[in-house]
Structure 1
Amino acid sequence: MEFLLSLAEEEQVILVGHSFGGLCISVAMELFPTKIAAAVFVSAWLPSPDLNYLDLLQEDLTLALSLLRPFPIFGDEDLQENTQLTRDNYGIVAKVYIVCEQDKLFKHDFQLFMIERNPPNDVKVIAGADHMSMFSKPQELFSYLQEITDTYY
């Protein structure tokens, strides 16, 4: 967050979040929407300002709560408790999701579920990539990141 604070008003960056890093870049999008040209979610958590626990069926909620484990997402309690994603900030930043088809942590169906609930501006697919696409398909990931930079920066 300090880096984004240090940017001049007219400067922008492209953020890339992998796995649970999607939550981290989402907080940055909420706090600094004008400093982010685009956010890239690589087989990452893609939260939505519209998805609420109250929207879940009661039985789904009961199951979800039984599976939860305490996990400090942001590493900063104040940030974690006081940041809510909004359409006015988080919602205005361009989002690109890179699906890794062979991911066994964020399964393909789960990635599609998040994309459906919070449609990004663009979706890319890396066929044969596992959760660590930077190791399993580095050339493909690099090509997409370069393409995204050319499009949004």
Structure 2
Amino acid sequence: DVALASVSMRSVPFAPVLEKLSLSDPKYGTVRRFYIKTLEDNAIPTTLQENMINASPPEKVFQLKGADHSPFFSKPQALHKLLVEISTIL
């Protein structure tokens, strides 16, 4: 698993994380949002995920059992299934 992760993971530039996000009241909420809750996430525990969901409720919340902070690695098939399901929601 470690060997696969080391060749699969890519570095992400940190600078965009530091940029201030600018949202306008007229446009806020115009993009549909969904949340995939990762139930075994040690980086963002479920209680914190719940707080994030409650602070800015998405259209629908999905749960991935056994998924950690990187569901694309820990539960790739289940994540794919959820993303396909989300893509079909009208």
| TM-score (norm: length of structure 2) | 0.75
1-structure distance, mates of 2:24, 2:51: 20
- For 1:148, what is the secondary structure of its paired residue? helix
1:136-151 alignment runs, 5 A limit: 136-151=74-89
Equivalent pairs: percent with the same residue? Answer: 35
Please show how residues 17-28 of structure 1 align to structure 2 within 5 Å: none
Q: Which amino acid aligns with 1:133?
A: P
Say which of 16, 27, 48 aligns to 1:110.
Answer: 48
**Which is richer in strand?**
1
**Unmatched runs of 5 consecutive residues or more in structure 2:** 1-11
Structure 1 runs (4+) deviating above 2 angstroms are: none
Q: What is the CA–CA distance in structure 2 between the aligned matches of 1:120 and 1:133, rounded to whole Å?
A: 19
1:135 counterpart residue number:
73
CA offsets, 1:81-133, max 9 Å, x none? Answer: 4x422342231111000000010011111111000010000100001101011
In structure 2, the residue matched to 1:99 is 37
User: Could you tell me how far 1:144 is from its partner in structure 2?
Assistant: 0.5
Alignment map for 1:1-150 (pairs within 5 Å): 72=15, 74=16, 80-81=19-20, 83-150=21-88
Aligned residues: 78
2:34 maps to a residue whose letter is V
Q: Write the distance in 1 (CA, Å) between the matches of 2:64 and 2:70.
A: 11
Deviations 1:68-91 (A, max 9, x none): xxx74x16x8xx34x422342231
- Three-state SS of the structure 1 residue aligned to 2:33 is strand
The aligned residue for residue 6 of structure 2 is none
Name the structure with the higher helix share. Answer: 1
- SS where residue 111 of structure 1 aligns? helix
Indicate how the Cα distance of structure 1 residues 87 and 95 shifts in structure 2: closer, same or farther if over 3 A, else same.
farther
